[in-house]
Amino acid sequence: MLNAFYEDPKKWAFTFQAYAMLSRVRGMARSVADFRAESAAYKLETQDKYRKRPRATQDSVADEEETAVVAASSSPSKKSRAADGSAAAGGDIDTSPALALQVGDSFLPLQVGVSHWVTTADGAALAPAAAGQEPLFTLTVTANHVAVLSTVGGPIGISAAGTPNNTLAKGGVVALMPGSLFSVGSLGVAVVDGEEVAEAPEKNVLIYERSVLSDRYCFAANCRQTGLFGELSWRVYCDWWRFIMGSFKGLNLDGLVYLKCAPTVCHTRLQKRGREEEADVGLDYLEQLHARHESWLTEGRISPQHKLPVLIVRTDQEFETDEARSKEMVAKVRTFMEQLSKRKAAKAKAARALRM
């Protein structure tokens, strides 16, 4: 029965595409903090392996580590392909900060839960306490966006109700609402609503190789176009996709980067890469995906509510060994991200003004 199932693409196409979309949802619903923690853990693990390797193999292992850690820190579960595709420049994460600490022009997001804090060695900034390090204070953020501050390493100056002489002694506890102020040494710290972070210069950007939009408008659409999805499968998929999109705020994106490349060039690069799992990918399939990407990202055949700013970067020209070309491409993406960040901050500011 299983053999008959797998031998007929029309039978397993829907299952595979549904699983692919769920994996995309899982990746996009994670926060920047998740990726940083994963990157740090991976780096410690690979460094430990590196120290245990014979000296003769350490250089090659170091190269592997650097590539792996960069991929883990900048992407959830995927990174770019040489083949035709699109990248989604990070959107609102479902686990967006409940509150934030503002120190000067810097914002430190606070998720619901407990966090431990110290000052940096020069006393010029706050930082999360490292494992085994005694914190100066602990913050417990509740679901209703209240920060409960507990002092651990000494007195802390507080500008909030219920703190005699505006000082919280060691072991003291106080609840801080958005707008409360406190000081640690010479540092002035404000507790602000998580939405304030949107107005700060964008420092945390998530880039996805693909998104739930590419699942719908490229891969699932291609299944429909080529007959792998029948009418019933297509309607079920679209209904389910709309439900998912309406249920998870973290799936909303700010913009799209389209790495546009001729299918023939993609196919040549794919063959050069020589991955076993890609050996059967033919030029005709790449041409089909290229047509779907063009329909979506160039011609704009998409539902109005899902239209986003799109940066098109031509990648036909060799860039792997051309440093000048690589820097030019990176500069375009960075400029695009800065524009998205300013646009997002302006929208957040306008939305708050309407609520006042």
Q: Hey, which residues does 260 pair with through a beta bridge?
A: 314
What's the whole-number average pLDDT of the chain? 75
Q: Are residues 192 and 141 in the same domain?
A: yes
**By the 8 A CB rule, do 258 and 313 touch?**
yes
Q: Tokens representing 102?
A: 């503002």
Which domain-ending residue is among 164, 196, 228? 196
**By the 8 A CB rule, do 256 and 310 touch?**
yes
185 φ, ψ to 5°?
65, -125
Which domain-ending residue is among 141, 162, 196? 196
Active site residues: 209
Predicted confidence at residue 61, as pLDDT, reads: 35
Q: Are residues 135 and 188 in the same domain?
A: yes
Residue 47 located in a structural domain: no
Which domain-ending residue is among 196, 219, 249? 196
Residue 282 located in a structural domain: yes
Predicted confidence at residue 268, as pLDDT, reads: 94
| Residue 186: domain span | 99-196
Look up tokens 């994106």; give the residue: 253
**By the 8 A CB rule, do 154 and 172 touch?**
no
**By the 8 A CB rule, do 90 and 205 touch?**
yes
Count of domains observed in the chain: 2
Residue 58 located in a structural domain: no
**Beta-strand pair 187-193/147-151:** unpaired
Low-confidence ranges of the chain (pLDDT < 50): 1-2, 5-6, 50-85, 91-95, 161-162, 200-202
Q: Are residues 191 and 120 in the same domain?
A: yes
- As a whole number of angstroms, the distance between CA 159 and CA 336 comes to 40
Predicted confidence at residue 69, as pLDDT, reads: 31
Residue 293 located in a structural domain: yes
- The CATH number given to whatever domain includes residue 156 is 2.60.200.20
Query: What's the gap between Cα 173 and its chain centre?
Result: 34
Q: Are residues 307 and 239 in the same domain?
A: yes
pLDDT in tens, 258-268: 999 999 999 99
Supply the DSSP string of 312-348, one letter for each residue: EEE--S--SS-HHHHHHHHHHHHHHHHHHHHHHHHHH
